[in-house]
Structure 1
Amino acid sequence: MERFRTSIRMILFLSLLLLAMAGILAACEENDDGGSGAAYQVEPAASLAVEAAGGESPTARDKVKIGFSMDTLLEERWLKDRELFKAAVEALGAEVDIMAANGDDALQIAQAETLISRGIDLLVIVPHNAEAMASIVQKAHLAGIKVLAYDRLVRNANVDMYVSFDNEQVGELQAKAITKLVPRGKYVYIGGADTDNNAHLLKKGVFNVLQPLIDSGDITIVYDQWTKNWEPANALENIQAALEANDNDIDAVIAANDATADAVIEALAAQGLAGKVPVAGQDADLKAAQRIVEGTQTLTVYKPIQSLAQAAAELAVKLATDGAVTANRTISNGKARVPSLLLAPIAVDRTSIDETVIADGFHSREDVYQNVK
């Protein structure tokens, strides 16, 4: 009889084990290639909240490990992102392994593969080339690692989550401010890198505003060119070509970021036009803030990256531990509708710089006004 009872207990145990394994396999099949939309709640655009997460660590380690693959650390803005994201992740009790490729696609792919091989729990990517990094998303998923796109969307891949600012709105803010100052005239557009999805979103936002004025004949685009790799030297060549082609007769310039705006203002200064031709940028770099109070740059678009880094860190840890996250948008990347959390950018000019960039502690007042007597 005892042998019979033991056999019954063994059969029950095996049955429960098989049921548990079936549940695990079903869950794996449901999340295969990085997450269907069912794993996320898509909220109205006004909601920016990130929900609290439950969830256990996917490994037996004491700390969740996040891999952060960055395009570059050669610009002021990205150095801030690195430090803010690192601090935010560590404050949540996790750790982060950071690698930067400085604009080299092959190197970024190799670095991301290295991060995956180190046993990270989640990969965060700032892609240099939005298309090239699609292969890394697939490799991460094959290793059971989810992927969060940070600030720039990876194209044609099943990205699990995207966190950024509303880049189309950034372009709209630039164009609205400049057209208010220059409702008619000859415009130059200096774009970002053609390989960066954000550059396309920025341009779309700009032309959302400009196109009706172009159609009416009030505005003429006399030069429109991408800036390879976002490099200021390439932006300088672009604006010099625009000035030469138009005999210096231009009325406004919209630049894709503050580094390209710096090159624009350098070229304008060489022709005695700095401060006479309105120039828009974005990122609120220190040099741009200084140019704004000095009067050579008209505006920048401030994206509070402290908020971006904090939101990304929270999302990364929650995704790594299978916790619940909340999106406020879904964005097509050419292959999937990616659950996205988009934060609001802020237009900043000389009248508002003190109450935004300086009040937030993004730059000190002393640094911003150091060249103004």
Structure 2
Amino acid sequence: MRKGLLLTTASVALLTTLTACGNSSSGGDSSGSGGKKPKIGVILPDSKSSARWETADRPYLAKAFKAAGVDYDIQNAQGDKQAFQTIADQMISSGVNVLVIVNLDSGTGKAVLDKAKAQGVATIDYDRLTLGGSAQYYVSFDNTVVGKLQGEGLSKCLSDMKAKKPVVAELNGSPTDNNATLFAQGYNSVLDPKYSSGEYVKGPNQSVPDWDNAQAGTIFEQMLTSEPRIGGVLAANDGLGNAAIAVLRKNHRNGQVPVTGQDATVQGLQNILAGDQCMTVYKAVKKEADATARLAVALAKGKKGQTNGSVKDPQGGRTVPSVLLTPVAVYKDNVKDVVNDGYVTKAQLCTGRYAALCAKAGIQ
């Protein structure tokens, strides 16, 4: 476990930069827990692994906190574990009475959560469960179901292409992210029986450190070199899927090999419209952000949080009260639903050559 950082001259400089990247608001009342004025801190993980953190989560959370009239501070650690801890120290010192985190790994997340708990700050794991951590609540989608939808999606696309005994490669998410483990449990529950029966051939299978898209491209290129017969790719999110698609395109095989994804990013949806990606999984981030904001605001005002389920922390052995939401599989024929829901706009999606594809897909 890494201990809290001392604010040296260098880390003060870093803190100043990080604070400038934050987003805060004044307002609210003084009825927070422990007599504190309600103030909520949120630490997002990065903007590299998925565009969603800055394009969706940040604005949705900010809007919900503003509507509730509470002070808030949203910052992004940009993949830096030291920065993550520094931001947490600064937020706790500034008087937040609720801390919401998307951990970079469980070790760093646990150190931050334990420190917050020791200071009487309520804590929420957002989107990712911190294994062995001490968060009082967890808000996310049912991530095993996310993976199951991916496995079913790849199977559907392989069936549509009438693929015979396809070699399936798996590009898994970061080995330090518990969500990646849950996704894999979900899609392997669909794929493993097909491997066992001989319907599919189990191909290369590798995790991508830190969900890094550049590394994913290198890893998949090595996969394709070692096994040129790859006929399907279970990619754990749209960024990894796009990395695989780029390699397939270079080898003139894009559109011939189904590739999955997750997050319903603009890039992922465009790949689906173009026929290069089989499917993605839409997680209505606004619902996740709104649920988290409601829970955080209640806690900040000294009230009890409302949940609809629980998850078991396999490392800590404890049951964590949770708000769990339902994901949706997206194929070419229902891309329009993601637009209609307001998650992406027609202007963002239907640019250049995608305008005609959008029209064909019924996107108004």
TM-score tier, shorter chain, comes to: 0.7 to 0.9
Amino acid at match of 1:367: Q
Is the 1:64–1:95 contact (alpha carbons within 8 Å) kept by the matching residues of 2?
yes
Instruction: Give 3-state SS (helix, strand or coil) of 1:252's partner.
Output: strand
Which residue of the other structure, out of 148, 157, 168, is the alignment partner of 1:187? 168
Is the 1:293–1:368 contact (alpha carbons within 8 Å) kept by the matching residues of 2?
no
1:321-367, Cα deviation, whole Å (9 max, x unpaired) = 2313222222122211111111000100101111x211111122343
Residue 145 (1) aligns with residue 121 (2): yes
Query: Cα distance, 1:117 vs. partner?
Result: 1.2
Instruction: Give 3-state SS (helix, strand or coil) of 1:135's partner.
Output: helix
Aligned alpha-carbon RMSD (Å): 1.5
TM-score, normalising length from structure 2?
0.84
Amino acid at match of 1:352: N
TM-score, normalising length from structure 1?
0.82
Q: Which residue of 2 aligns with 1:52?
A: none
Q: Which residue of 1 aligns with 2:20?
A: none
Using the alignment, how far apart are the partners of 2:97 and 2:191 within structure 1?
44
Q: Which residue of 1 aligns with 2:204?
A: 223
Query: Cα distance, 1:87 vs. partner?
Result: 1.0
Residue 337 (1) aligns with residue 311 (2): no
Q: Which residue of 2 aligns with 1:4?
A: none
Residue 116 (1) aligns with residue 105 (2): no
Instruction: Give 3-state SS (helix, strand or coil) of 1:188's partner.
Output: strand
Q: Which residue of 1 aligns with 2:46?
A: 72
1:161-217, Cα deviation, whole Å (9 max, x unpaired) = 000111111110011011123254210110111111111111111101111111112
Q: Which residue of 2 aligns with 1:300?
A: 280
Amino acid at match of 1:76: A
Q: Which residue of 2 aligns with 1:325?
A: 305
Amino acid at match of 2:45: D
Amino acid at match of 1:256: A
Instruction: Give 3-state SS (helix, strand or coil) of 2:278's partner.
Output: coil
Gaps of 5+ in 1: 1-54
Q: Which residue of 1 aligns with 2:251?
A: 271
Using the alignment, how far apart are the partners of 1:181 and 1:120 within structure 2?
47
Which residue of the other structure, out of 290, 313, 334, is the alignment partner of 1:352? 334
Using the alignment, how far apart are the partners of 2:33 and 2:135 within structure 1?
19
Amino acid at match of 1:231: D
Q: Which residue of 2 aligns with 1:156?
A: 132
Q: Which has the higher contact order (CA 8 A, sep 6+)?
A: 1
1:255-274, Cα deviation, whole Å (9 max, x unpaired) = 11111111010000000010
Residue 239 (1) aligns with residue 220 (2): yes
After superposing the two structures, state which structure 1 stretch, 328-337 or 339-348, moved more. 328-337
Query: Cα distance, 1:111 vs. partner?
Result: 1.4
Query: Cα distance, 1:60 vs. partner?
Result: 4.7
Using the alignment, how far apart are the partners of 2:147 and 2:180 within structure 1?
9
Query: Cα distance, 1:58 vs. partner?
Result: 2.0
Using the alignment, how far apart are the partners of 1:127 and 1:89 within structure 2?
21
Instruction: Give 3-state SS (helix, strand or coil) of 1:133's partner.
Output: helix
Is the 1:292–1:299 contact (alpha carbons within 8 Å) kept by the matching residues of 2?
yes
Instruction: Give 3-state SS (helix, strand or coil) of 1:326's partner.
Output: coil
Query: Cα distance, 1:106 vs. partner?
Result: 2.0
1:121-161, Cα deviation, whole Å (9 max, x unpaired) = 10000001123211111111110011101001111022100
Q: Which residue of 1 aligns with 2:345?
A: 364
Using the alignment, how far apart are the partners of 2:324 and 2:171 within structure 1?
24
Using the alignment, how far apart are the partners of 1:188 and 1:292 within structure 2?
19
Residue 207 (1) aligns with residue 188 (2): yes
> After the TM superposition, which residues 275-290 of structure 1 pair with which residues of structure 2 at under 5 Å, given as runs?
275-290=255-270
Amino acid at match of 1:353: V
Instruction: Give 3-state SS (helix, strand or coil) of 2:33's partner.
Output: coil
Amino acid at match of 1:118: S
Q: Which residue of 2 aligns with 1:261?
A: 241
1:243-286, Cα deviation, whole Å (9 max, x unpaired) = 0001x211100111111111010000000010110010000000
1:57-81, Cα deviation, whole Å (9 max, x unpaired) = 22556x5100111111334210110
Percent identity, aligned pairs only, is: 33
Is the 2:157–2:278 contact (alpha carbons within 8 Å) kept by the matching residues of 1?
no
Instruction: Give 3-state SS (helix, strand or coil) of 2:299's partner.
Output: helix
Using the alignment, how far apart are the partners of 2:126 and 2:283 within structure 1?
13
1:22-73, Cα deviation, whole Å (9 max, x unpaired) = xxxxxxxxxxxxxxxxxxxxxxxxxxxxxxxxx9422556x51001111113
Q: Which residue of 2 aligns with 1:97?
A: 73
Is the 1:112–1:136 contact (alpha carbons within 8 Å) kept by the matching residues of 2?
yes
Instruction: Give 3-state SS (helix, strand or coil) of 2:169's partner.
Output: strand
Runs of 4+ in 1 over 6 A off after TM superposition: none
